[in-house]
Amino acid sequence: MRVLVTGGTGYVGAHSVKALVHAGHSVRLLVRDAAKAQAVLGALGIERLDCVSGDMTDEASVLKALKGCHAVLHCAAVVSTDRRRATEMLRANPRGAELVLGHAVRLGLDPVVHVSSVAALLTPGKTLLHAGMPPGTLSSGYARSKSAAERFARGLQEQGAPVVITYPGSVTGPAAGSVLGEATAGLAANIKIGSLPSHDAAWSFLDARDLGAIHAALMQPGHGPRRYMCGGHYLRMPQLALVLQQLTGREFKVLPMSGATLRVLGRVVDSLTSVLPFETVLTHEAMVCFTQMPPTDDSAIRRELNIRLRPVTRTLREALRAAHHAGLLTDRQLGTLASGRQR
């Protein structure tokens, strides 16, 4: 089938395009920069591109891109931790969902896949995240924009539309050309420091190739509305420290800092970013996600889609090598991975 993909030049979108093409689908891209699409997807071996220039918030562009398509994968979103971009995200992300998902449903496309996030369902205090939960209570501009898009997508589902929602965790793994996952940059920052913060913290890692396989497996019409949690491998900081030591040969200590301390530090940084022009992942909300994110129930992707996730060591090995290739890590910081002694 011909599948329209939005956000195809982003990390998740690019790997999903590759999976769709390898599964035999024809892909059309709605992109703002066709040259970037060629560079990113060309690096993944996708040479012949069907591109429509435009933005997800422009109705004419969306309608042009949807014409002749049978299904949609909506990956596009404005993502930023900069509080000054909250208004932009609150405008663009719900509007993009309304146009892409709404018109796709109206035109009879099936399935219509919306890529959300585990963070969209996070409410601190929960012990397990599952796809049946209501939207979470995070309050940043990005979180509120994703919640608004989530409510719209679920409204379509309630009407019986074949809208499918996926909830990925921190997506990482090999690069897509020059594009790295945000989780990869976060990992690289911890590798540089040589330590991990707080025994209270945890990280859920999902390989970008596995998420692509999930999206490709969903491209079957006639199955109606569905939701899939795909948080990935859940690692507490001591577990992650052991994995990183295994991969690099370096020792990583977990700092004796409480989750509460990190959340307070995030509030302090939030106050600074309200008056100073810089962007950082050390926000209060990011620290809430980092220190209060529970495991996810990913059983449906195994049971219904027959997807088996790669071992987390393989995913993180590829992510660290990608960070090294991008200049985010030195040979010394990469340890035995750089020397080739670790395979």
pLDDT tens-digit series, residues 92-115: 999 999 999 999 999 999 999 999
Residue 128 main-chain phi, psi, to 5 deg: -155, 135
Examine residue 322 and state whether it is found in any structural domain, yes or no: no
What confidence score (pLDDT) does residue 292 get?
81
The string of pLDDT tens digits covering residues 307-335 is 999 999 999 999 999 999 999 999 999 99
Q: Let me know: does 241 contact 196? Beta carbons within 8 Å.
A: yes
The string of pLDDT tens digits covering residues 200-243 is 899 999 999 999 999 999 999 999 999 999 999 999 999 999 99
What confidence score (pLDDT) does residue 198 get?
87
Examine residue 167 and state whether it is found in any structural domain, yes or no: yes
- 81 CB neighbour count, 10 Å cutoff: 19
304 pLDDT band, cuts 50/70/90, is very high
The pairs formed by 18-24 with CB atoms below 8 angstroms and a separation of 24 or more are 18/44, 18/45, 18/46, 18/212, 19/209, 19/212, 19/213, 19/215, 19/216, 20/73, 20/212, 20/215, 20/216, 20/219, 21/46, 22/216, 23/216, 23/219
Give the residue, 280 or 171, on which the prediction is more confident: 171
Listed ranges 144-148, 156-160, 196-200; the one with the highest mean pLDDT: 156-160
**Rounded to whole angstroms, how far apart are CA atoms 322 and 343?**
15
The burial class, CB within 10 Å (0-12 / 13-18 / 19+), for 274 is exposed
231 membership: H or E segment, kind and range: none
Examine residue 288 and state whether it is found in any structural domain, yes or no: no
Q: 48 lies in which domain range?
A: 2-180+204-234+294-310
**Rounded to whole angstroms, how far apart are CA atoms 251 and 246?**
9
Examine residue 193 and state whether it is found in any structural domain, yes or no: no
Examine residue 61 and state whether it is found in any structural domain, yes or no: yes
Work out how many domains the chain is built from and give that number: 1
What confidence score (pLDDT) does residue 143 get?
80
Q: Residue 55 pLDDT more than 70?
A: yes
What confidence score (pLDDT) does residue 278 get?
64
Q: What is the mean pLDDT of residues 185-193?
A: 91
Examine residue 163 and state whether it is found in any structural domain, yes or no: yes
CATH number at residue 306: 3.40.50.720
Helix axes 237-248, 182-193, angle to 10 degrees: 80
What confidence score (pLDDT) does residue 279 get?
64
Q: Residue 343 pLDDT more than 50?
A: no
What confidence score (pLDDT) does residue 119 get?
83
Average pLDDT, the chain: 92
Examine residue 239 and state whether it is found in any structural domain, yes or no: no
